[in-house]
Amino acid sequence: PPIAHHRSCRSPNTAPQFQPSSYQATVEENRPAGTPVTQVTAQDPDEGEAGQLHYAMAAL
């Protein structure tokens, strides 16, 4: 599923850098809701609210 990100908007800001830059995971359909799937890591040099990231996954 796509991962949407929301950044507290305050210009100018620097885009977060993900390592690796793309992720792929497979989830068995019988896994219970809330099962951890993968861990995403990003570095963002912005300070305060501009450096806070929030992510969510959506089912397709």
Residues 4-19 have pLDDT tens digits of 555 555 556 778 888 8
**Quick one: 40 exposed, middle or buried, by C-beta within 10 A (0-12, 13-18, 19+)?**
middle
pLDDT band at 30; cut points 50, 70, 90: very high
Q: Quote the CA–CA distance of 11 and 20 in Å, as a whole number.
A: 26
Mean pLDDT for all residues in the chain: 76
Work out the percent of the chain whose per-residue pLDDT is above 70: 72
**Token pair for 25:** 């995971």
The structure's pTM equals: 0.46
Read off the pLDDT of residues 46-56 as tens digits, 9 standing for 90 and up: 888 877 777 77
What values do phi and psi take at 21, rounded to 5? -80, -15
Ordered by start, the domain boundaries in the chain are 1-60
Of 7, 8, 16, the residue nearest 41 (C-alpha)? 16
Question: What type of residue is 22?
Answer: S
